């Protein structure tokens, strides 16, 4: 099933339960303007609870994933409206990045090209990030005279070693997809010609998993990073019990198909969720 919506700066289509969402300002290297940020929040809202969407992929039209914040519209023009202009522009961006970090559906960043500065917010927000070897990643802020704000410094320190993050932030040099994968910025990198196939393959694996367990898992990974071991242990007990209350039959069905029906092995793949009662 396919349905397509086009509204300028962000476009999306839903194909076989995968929502392909695109930054769509290729002539501006998909820089994030306030208009783009507001529209992206609307698109994420539109897709989040749709039953025909199981996975969301975020990618870019043209040669860029996103060249970060729009220096003209996000920085310069917002600043002419004083503190209010700056804060409004920040909120429009941070709002959808936060929504994406805690999105109900699993999310994949398909990084097809340039990925700079403010693009690290949505990059980090996606659960899995697959880059093209040909993509280029950089904290270019230092090259035009500011620090990597909007969470970008935090993204680098969360994902990279302290030594690599410091070098990355101070030097303003770029990493290609393979280097970004080696340094932890993305999950993996493949040649651009294989990028969409690889992302589709990952999405199709995710589509077969229990969606309640997936949401609980992705939230748990993000939450426990900031917890002590004891707090994490406690949180995980409570998170699983909360997931059980939304999905009382999931784990029972998973155990039944393994222990009684012997139709699959959890070590080798997911149980058949279509046979689940609720």
Residues that bind ligand COA (CB under 6 A): 28-29, 31, 63, 67-72, 114, 116-118, 140-141, 144
Chain centroid, CA 187 distance in Å: 11
Rounded to 5 degrees, what are φ and ψ at 184?
A: 90, 0
Whole-angstrom Cα distance, residue 262 to residue 7? 49
Q: Tell me how far, at minimum, the Cβ of 69 lies from ligand COA, in Å.
A: 4
State the nearest-atom distance from the C-beta of 267 to ligand COA, in Å.
44
**Among residues 29 and 105, whose Cβ is nearest to ligand COA?**
29
174 secondary structure, DSSP code: -
C-beta of 70: minimal distance to ligand COA in Å? 4
Ramachandran angles phi, psi of 57, nearest 5°: -115, 130
Choose between 72 and 81: whose C-beta lies nearer to ligand COA: 72
Residue 263 CB, nearest approach to ligand COA (Å)? 50
56 or 110: CB nearest ligand COA: 110
Torsion of CA 67, 57, 191, 184, to 10 degrees: 70
Nearer to ligand COA, 69 or 110 (CB): 69
Spatial distance between the Cα atoms of 42 and 10, rounded to a whole number of angstroms? 10
Tokens of 129: 């990030």
Report angle CA 56, 50, 126 to the nearest 5 degrees: 20
Q: Supply the minimum distance, in Å, between the C-beta of residue 23 and ligand COA.
A: 12
Q: Which is nearer to ligand COA, 72 or 88 (CB)?
A: 72
- Whether the CB-CB separation of 156 and 139 falls below 8 Å is answered with yes
């Amino acid at each position: 099933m396919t349905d397509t919506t086009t509204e300028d700066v962000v476009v999306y289509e839903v194909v076989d339960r995968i929502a392909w969402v695109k930054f769509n300002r290729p002539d501006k290297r998909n820089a994030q303007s306030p208009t783009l940020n507001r529209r992206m929040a609307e698109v994420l809202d539109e897709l989040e609870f749709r039953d025909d969407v199981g996975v969301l992929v975020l990618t870019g039209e043209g040669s860029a994933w996103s060249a970060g914040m729009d220096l003209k519209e996000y920085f310069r023009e917002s600043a002419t409206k004083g503190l209010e202009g700056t804060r409004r522009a920040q909120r429009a961006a941070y709002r959808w990045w936060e929504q994406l970090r805690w999105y109900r559906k699993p999310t994949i960043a398909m990084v097809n090209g340039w990925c700079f500065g403010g693009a690290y917010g949505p990059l980090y927000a996606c659960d899995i990030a697959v880059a093209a070897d040909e993509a280029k990643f950089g904290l270019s802020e230092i090259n035009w005279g500011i620090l990597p704000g909007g969470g970008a410094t935090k993204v680098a320190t969360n994902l990279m070693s302290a030594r690599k993050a410091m070098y990355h932030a101070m030097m303003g040099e770029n990493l290609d997809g393979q280097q970004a994968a080696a340094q932890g910025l993305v999950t993996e990198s493949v040649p651009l010609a294989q990028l969409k196939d690889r992302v589709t393959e990952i999405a199709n694996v995710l589509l077969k998993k229990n969606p309640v367990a997936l949401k609980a898992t992705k939230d748990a990974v993000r939450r426990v990073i900031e917890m002590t071991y004891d707090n994490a242990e406690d949180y995980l007990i409570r998170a699983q019990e909360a997931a059980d209350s939304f999905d009382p039959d999931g784990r029972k069905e998973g155990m039944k198909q393994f222990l009684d029906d012997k139709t699959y092995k959890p070590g080798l793949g997911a149980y058949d969720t279509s046979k689940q009662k609720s």
